[in-house]
Structure 1
Amino acid sequence: MTAIVLPEEFWQGVDQFNQQEFYACHDTLEALWIEAVEPQKRFYQGILQIAVGCYHLGNLNWRGAVVLLGEGIGRLSNYQPDYGGIDVTELLSQSVNLLEALQNVGSEQVADFVRQLEAADSNDVVVGGEGVRGFPKLKGVDG
């Protein structure tokens, strides 16, 4: 894709996302999303939905997590491999892996899954047959 320059507030939202401050990330990116036009609007919305899905997961809301992760994944699929300096393919890979693991685990075991996920801190956690490395991270295309 062409070089897209995203505003400083977006990068604040990236930091919040990567620090698992998903509600704060939502607030930051929602302000951008409201004012944005396409194609940025859909990009912001996809990241927002993944962030809110992770927020729901942290609050043991399995259904909310599954629905919003799925919607965010769908919205971001057309932005691969990267957009605005973000490695979208990597974000989608991590998010799909998390969603599949959640679906395998089911709502009954979400509390145990979240405890393991929070303890993972970049180490593989095997839950429901899936290797998950903690919550998704937003990574730049340069690493």
Structure 2
Amino acid sequence: MESLPAEFWRGLEEFNRQEFYACHDTLEALWMEALHPLKLFYQGILQLAVAYYHLGNRNWKGCVILLSTGIQRLEYFAPEYVGVDVETLLDQSAECLNALQELGPEAIETFDPGRIPQIYYLREAA
């Protein structure tokens, strides 16, 4: 498994606490310095984090667009990448996307935030 910086794992913890703005800040710094394919992986998680941030601000369009692009970007890494369960994240994010598309922008406030996925991972030994 490729060794990843502690900031990456902190970003996943922030995502799981639904601290999406903090997650974005943490992972963006890594994304800017990363090389392919890790750069695409970081970008996919970043896009999901920003999508869920938009959801919290009732920005339906921003949420739906970034969920779609984040899902597409992460499909390359399924089912698992660097210890992260990408497949479960993709499945749960696709369920959120479908639910939001069915609700439409007028009913975004009825979306259950409990449906926002967690990122499951096996953190590498230090």
Give the TM bin, normalised by the shorter chain.
over 0.9
Structure 2 residue aligned with 1:140: 121
- For residue 42 of structure 1, the aligned residue among 40, 43, 49 is 40
Counterpart Cα distance in 2 of 1:78 and 1:36: 17
Deviation at 1:6, TM superposition (A): 1.6
Deviation at 1:89, TM superposition (A): 0.3
The answer to whether the 8 A contact 1:95-1:136 is kept is yes
TM-score by length of 2: 0.94
Quick check: 1:99 aligned with 2:80? no
Counterpart Cα distance in 2 of 1:6 and 1:63: 33
Could you tell me which runs of 5 or more consecutive residues in structure 1 were left unpaired when the two chains were aligned: 121-133
Deviation at 1:141, TM superposition (A): 5.0
TM-score by length of 1: 0.83
Could you tell me which runs of 5 or more consecutive residues in structure 2 were left unpaired when the two chains were aligned: none
Equivalent position amino acid for 1:83 in 2:
Y
Moved over 4 A (4+): none
- For residue 53 of structure 1, the aligned residue among 44, 51, 54 is 51
Deviation at 1:140, TM superposition (A): 1.2
Deviation at 1:111, TM superposition (A): 1.1
Q: Deviations over 1:38-75 (max 9, x none)?
A: 11000000000000000000000000000000000000
Equivalent position amino acid for 1:46 in 2:
G
Deviation at 1:5, TM superposition (A): 2.1
Q: Determine which structure has the larger helix proportion and give its number.
A: 2
Structure 2 residue aligned with 1:27: 25
Secondary structure of the corresponding residue to residue 26 of structure 1: helix
The answer to whether the 8 A contact 1:13-1:25 is kept is yes
Secondary structure of the corresponding residue to residue 116 of structure 2: coil
Deviation at 1:112, TM superposition (A): 1.8
The answer to whether the 8 A contact 1:4-1:85 is kept is no
Secondary structure of the corresponding residue to residue 42 of structure 2: helix
